[in-house]
């Protein structure tokens, strides 16, 4: 296989100019042709698609309990802002819960997961968990140690699964699998 380096290009030019009579016009034309070929070959750069981005731009939550104090619930609302190359399947959105709640979940309802603007989704829901054996002080201590709602897990329309975690006011996006 012939590789196009400077030495091979000069040989090709010499063959063509000798074959065609060695005229000055032909030499200049061949030199121009080789220069154009080299410039276009060197400029063929593949552009990498930008990494997808997601920002949990707003997160609010509130806690409540039933009248007996045996069941607690967390209501949450968040706004997710995604880059153009991250198409979220709204039906797959799930909140990323703290471990101490996750192990006690009784029920989870996503009440709203709709697009509210260009690249923005609003997600609202309620997580009910068993608080038997926990005092209010225990729950407050757990909340100080670990955020109640830590982010979201979702699937894109292309089938990729991502986890977005809110840490110190900044969203970290991680692709799961692959």
Instruction: Give the number of other Cβ atoms within 10 Å of residue 152's Cβ.
Output: 26
CA-CA distances (angstroms) from residue 34 to 13, 53, 135? 8, 43, 81
- φ, ψ at 13 (rounded to 5°): -65, -40
Q: What is the pLDDT of residues 76-115, one digit of tens each?
A: 999 999 998 999 999 999 999 999 999 999 999 999 999 9
d(CA 64, CA 114): 25
Cα torsion for 19, 21, 27, 28, to the nearest 10°?
Answer: -130
DSSP-assigned letters across all residues of 149-172: EEEEEEEBTTS-EEEEEEETTEEE
* C-alpha neighbours within 13 Å on the C-beta side of residue 69: 5
| DSSP strand pairing (170-176 vs 149-155) | unpaired
- φ, ψ at 119 (rounded to 5°): 75, 15
Distance between start and end Cα atoms, the chain: 36
Confidence category of residue 70, pLDDT binned at 50, 70, 90: confident
Q: What is the pLDDT of residues 7-27, one digit of tens each?
A: 665 565 555 555 555 556 666
d(CA 128, CA 72): 6
Query: What tokens does 111 get?
Result: 């009440």
The DSSP letter of residue 20 is T
Q: Which helix (H) or strand (E) holds 62?
A: strand 54-65
Q: What is the pLDDT of residues 102-158, one digit of tens each?
A: 999 999 999 999 999 888 999 999 999 998 888 889 999 999 999 999 999 999 999
């Amino acid at each position: 296989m012939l590789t196009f380096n400077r030495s091979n290009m000069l040989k090709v030019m010499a063959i063509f100019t000798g074959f065609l009579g060695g005229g000055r016009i032909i030499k200049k034309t061949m030199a121009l042709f080789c220069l154009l070929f080299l410039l276009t070959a060197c400029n063929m750069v593949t552009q990498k698609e930008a990494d997808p981005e997601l920002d949990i731009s707003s997160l609010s939550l509130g806690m409540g309990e039933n009248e007996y104090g045996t069941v607690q619930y967390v209501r949450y609302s968040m706004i997710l802002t995604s880059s153009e190359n991250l198409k979220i399947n709204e039906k797959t959105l799930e909140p990323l819960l703290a471990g101490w709640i996750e192990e006690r979940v009784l029920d989870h309802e996503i009440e709203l997961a709709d697009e509210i603007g260009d690249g923005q989704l609003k997600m609202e829901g309620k997580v009910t968990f068993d608080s038997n054996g926990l005092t209010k002080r225990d729950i407050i201590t757990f909340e100080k140690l670990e955020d109640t709602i830590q982010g979201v897990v979702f699937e894109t329309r292309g089938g990729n699964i991502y986890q977005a975690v809110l840490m110190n006011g900044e969203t970290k996006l991680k692709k799961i699998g692959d």
